[in-house]
Amino acid sequence: MCLAVPAEITLLDDSGQGTVNYMGSEVKANFSLVPQARPGDWVIIHAGFAISVMDENEARETLLLFKEMADASRR
């Protein structure tokens, strides 16, 4: 099973490469599939590629659900 995780774009260059804040870590990503994306936008990252732009509220809610699932699995 594959899991795509929301991340906030922190840097984006003209070549379609950049970095995202990925659950507290800076990670390199390719943005060629979402040419409309800009720094500050939230995207879904899968296998190093941003595959879609998403609403910030939805991104934060999704990350909260991931955290709740991780916390529950530790009990």
Instruction: Give how many domains the chain has, as a whole number.
Output: 1
Residue 45 sits in a domain of what CATH number?
2.30.30.140
Residue 60's φ and ψ, nearest 5 degrees, are -65, -40
For residue range 7-52, list pLDDT tens digits in order.
Answer: 999 999 999 999 999 888 999 999 999 999 999 999 999 999 999 9
69: domain range? 5-73
Task: Give the other-Cβ count within 10 Å of 9's Cβ.
Answer: 22
Q: Per the structure block, which two tokens stand in for 54?
A: 């998403």
Count Cβ atoms within 10 A of the Cβ of residue 43 and give its class: 0-12 exposed, 13-18 middle, 19 or more buried. Answer: buried
pTM, two decimal places: 0.86
The CA-atom distances, in angstroms, between 64 and each of 29, 67, 71 are: 22, 5, 10
